[in-house]
């Protein structure tokens, strides 16, 4: 392992892996992006926990009704608390990656008003 590894792979837990699996299974990248990669219909999520916090993210993921901020409708995933926690764990791990100064990712939807 290079000394300059910035991925913190040693912090990848089973819950982080489960969150990534949920991300992939639901094609979250079709609308959202992480590290600037993915769709631009919905907000960039690399630092979503810094911007919104765990409670907000879990509320969106567990909501029984579609979420529609700024007129952009998100599917009501109705996630269990365990799955929402796994997504939060994934976002925590992603949020710790060193972006080499590229903290403001390209999606204009990532910015709070």
CB 23 within 8 A of CB 16: no
- 90 is a domain residue: yes
- 1 is a domain residue: no
Confidence class for position 54, pLDDT limits 50, 70, 90: very high
* CATH number for the domain harbouring residue 26: 1.10.760.10
Give me the DSSP letters along 58-86: HHHHH-SS-B-GGG--B------HHHHHH
- 104 is a domain residue: no
* Domain residue limits at 18: 13-98
- 22 is a domain residue: yes
Into how many domains does the chain fold?
A: 1
Q: Which helix (H) or strand (E) holds 38?
A: strand 37-38
- Answer whether 0.75 is exceeded by the pTM: yes
- 49 is a domain residue: yes
What whole-number distance in Å separates Cα of residue 100 and Cα of residue 78? Answer: 35
- 3 is a domain residue: no
pLDDT tens for each residue of 68-109: 877 888 889 999 999 999 999 999 999 888 776 665 555 455
- 7 is a domain residue: no
């Amino acid at each position: 392992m290079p000394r300059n590894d910035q991925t913190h792979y040693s912090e990848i837990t089973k819950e982080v892996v489960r969150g990534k699996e949920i991300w992939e299974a639901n094609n979250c990248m079709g609308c959202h992006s992480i590290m600037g990669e993915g769709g631009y219909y919905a907000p960039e999520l690399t630092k979503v926990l810094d911007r919104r916090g765990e409670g907000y993210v879990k509320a969106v993921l567990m909501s029984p009704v579609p979420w529609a901020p700024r007129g952009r409708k998100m599917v009501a995933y109705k996630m269990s608390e365990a799955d929402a926690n796994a997504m939060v764990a994934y976002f925590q791990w992603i949020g710790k990656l060193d972006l080499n100064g590229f903290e403001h990712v390209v999606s204009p939807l990532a910015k709070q008003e």
